[in-house]
Amino acid sequence: MNKFYARFRLFYLNNSIIFIFIALSVMSGILSDKFFSVRNWLNILNNFSVTGIVSCGVALVLIAGGIDLSFGSILACCSVFAAFLEPRSLFLAILLPVLLGVLLGLFNGFIVAKIGANPLITTLGTQWLYFALLMIVTSGNLVQGNSDTPFHFIGHGKIFNIPFPIYFFLGIVLFAWFLSRKTLYGKYLFAHGSNKNALFCSGIDSSHIYMMTFAIMGLLVGIGGVVLSSRLIGVRPTEGGRYLMNVLTAVILGGVSLNGGIGSLVNVMIAVVVLGVIDNSMVLLGVPYKDQQIIRGGIFILSIIYNNYLVNQSEIFRRKSVSQES
C-alpha cells in the first residue's frame, strides 16, 4: 500500500498538469452544462490545433536547453507562403512552406548552435528579421487563398465527423513524443539540455544535435503554418503574433524546464488542452472579454508557483526514497 502511494505521489508530482486539467474540467462542467458535450470538446481541440502543433516544436527546443521567440514569425511566413502557392499547385503548397519552415529554423539553429549566440536574443532578432521581410514582401496585405481547392480540406475537412486539424495535432504530438522518447536523437536531446559539455565529451557532435532541434522546430511550425493557412483561407502577415504568448504558456505549463533537460510532450499536449478549456469555459461562463486576460495571467502565475513547489517536493521525495533504499 505504502509503495503504491509512493508511486502515485511521484507520478502526481511529475505530471501535475493532468490533475489541474481534471480539476478545471470538472469545475467548468459543474458551472456550465454545455461543457461536456462532444461538440464543445471537438471545438476546443480544433481551435487549439495550430497552437498544439507549434507547441510541440517549441517544447523540443526548450528541452534542448534553448528558447525560441521567432516561431510566430516563422508561422506567419509559412502560412502566407502556403496561401500564395495554393492556387498554383496543391503539392507545392504543402511541401514548400514546410521546407521554408525548416530553412528558417535551421538559420536560427546555425546562429545559436554553431556560432554560439544566446538563443533568446538571437531568436528575438530573427523574429523581427523574418517578420520585417514578410511585411516588406507582402507590403502588409492579406494574401487571399480560395475555398474550393483540395487544400481547403486540410483545415476544414472531417473524417468520422472529427475535424482534420485534430488528426494533425494528435499525429504531431505522437511524432514528437516518439522522437523525444524512443530514438537515439531524443536521448541526445535530453542530454544536451541537462549537460551539453558531458554530451560533447562523450564524443557526440552536440552543436549538430542542437541545430537539428531548431530545424525540427521549423518543420513542425511549417506544418502548423500549412494547417493555419488552410483554416483561415486568406492569411494576414500579422497572424503569427497572437501565438507567442499562448505557445510559451502551454509549453511552460506542460512542465518543460527553461533550463533544459526536463519535459514531456504528452504533458505539453494536455497543457494546450488546458488553455483551450480555460478559454472555452470563460466564454461559456460569460466573462467579459476585457477581463479575460487578467484571469489568464493569474492562472499562469499561480500554476507556475504550484509547479515550482511540486518540483521541489519531488526532489525532496526522491532524495528521501533514495536514502531509504540505501
- Contacts with other proteins by CB under 8 A lie at 67, 69, 111, 115-118, 120-122, 124-129, 131-133, 135-136, 139-140, 245, 248, 252, 258-259, 288-298, 300-301, 304-305, 308
What lies within 8 Å, CB to CB, of 224 at 6+ separation is 50, 53, 54, 57, 75, 78
**Residue 292 or 314 having the CB closest to other proteins:** 292
**Residue 89 or 293 having the CB closest to other proteins:** 293
Please give the full DSSP string across 92-159, using - where no structure is assigned.
HHHHHHHHHHHHHHHHHHIIIIII---HHHHHHHHHHHHHHHHHHHHTTPPEE--TTSTTHHHHH-EE
Least distance to other proteins from the beta carbon of 10, Å?
21
Q: Are 176 and 220 in contact (CB under 8 A)?
A: yes
Least distance to other proteins from the beta carbon of 110, Å?
11
**Residue 70 or 206 having the CB closest to other proteins:** 70
**Residue 129 or 142 having the CB closest to other proteins:** 129
Least distance to other proteins from the beta carbon of 111, Å?
7
Least distance to other proteins from the beta carbon of 276, Å?
17
Least distance to other proteins from the beta carbon of 177, Å?
23
Least distance to other proteins from the beta carbon of 182, Å?
29
Least distance to other proteins from the beta carbon of 157, Å?
34
Q: Helix, strand, or coil here: 286?
A: coil
Helix, strand, coil share (%) of the chain residues, nearest 5: 80, 0, 20
Nearest to residue 274, comparing CAs of 32, 33, 27? 27
* Residue located via cell numbers 466564454: 283
Please give the full DSSP string across 195-262, using - where no structure is assigned.
-HHHHHHTT--HHHHHHHHHHHHHHHHHHHHHHHHHHHSEE-GGGGGGHHHHHHHHHHHTT--TTSS-
Between strands 158-159 and 162-163, the pairing is antiparallel
**Residue 30 or 295 having the CB closest to other proteins:** 295
**Residue 69 or 80 having the CB closest to other proteins:** 69
Q: At what angle are helices 38-47 and 49-63 packed, to 10 degrees?
A: 50
DSSP-derived letter for residue 183 is S
**Residue 150 or 298 having the CB closest to other proteins:** 298
